Amino acid sequence: MVDGHFYYINEQYFIDFPDTRLMQNKEKVKGEVHDRPCYYAFKDSSTQLYWMIPISSQIIKYRKYYNDKVTKYKRCDTIIFGEVLGREKAFLIQNMFPITPQYIKNEYIDSNAGIPVRISRILEKKLREKAKRILALQRKGFHIIFPDVLTIESKLLNNNS
């Protein structure tokens, strides 16, 4: 795994960590095989685990959630919008989770260029800052991230010891 790259998750992860609040794989779309969702990976230097932030193309849906949160709380750090391969995507920090490389199915490759998909450094910096802030709040007892990520993190760390 490479920090800052995009990946798809192996189905075994969802078997080993059965949490209904994790965004599940949708490998078939309209009867055709299609890996999704795709996840942006960043490494947590304190645990050496990677954290996966799902991305979605459902911009209208997540723009509404974002606007509702801004109206209610005057800010929203759990959903960020940015471009991936020239198209706007929603980065769902509220759905992020920890992982180890054994659960990676494959990397998201730009089929036109044949290279790993990347995002701008500005978006990457903003995404990491907000994700780390939300994770710190989660660790302090605020339930902001939907899946039970601290239990998953603990199991992953105990399995790697």
Other CB atoms within a 10 A radius of the CB of residue 52 amount to: 26
- The predicted-structure confidence for 38-90, as pLDDT tens digits, reads as follows 999 999 999 999 999 999 999 999 999 999 999 999 999 999 999 999 999 99
The whole-number pLDDT of residue 24 equals 73
Count CA atoms within 13 Å of residue 51 on its CB side.
27
- The predicted-structure confidence for 13-49, as pLDDT tens digits, reads as follows 999 999 989 887 765 545 554 566 899 999 999 999 9
Dihedral sign, Cα of residue 105, residue 108, residue 113, residue 119: negative
Q: In 3-state terms, what secondary structure has residue 54?
A: strand
Residue-range domains of the chain with CATH: 6-159 (3.10.129.130)
The whole-number pLDDT of residue 35 equals 60
- The predicted-structure confidence for 120-135, as pLDDT tens digits, reads as follows 999 999 999 999 999 9
Query: Which tokens in the block code for residue 25?
Result: 């794989």
pTM of the model as a whole? 0.91
Cβ neighbors of 117 (< 8 A, separation 6 or more) are 5, 6, 84, 85, 108, 109, 110
- The predicted-structure confidence for 103-158, as pLDDT tens digits, reads as follows 999 999 999 999 999 999 999 999 999 999 999 999 999 999 999 999 999 999 99
Q: How far apart are CA 113 and CA 62, in angstroms?
A: 29
DSSP state of 34: -
Q: What is the mean pLDDT of the chain?
A: 92
Measured between alpha carbons, how far is residue 114 from residues 37, 107, 111 in Å? 20, 11, 5
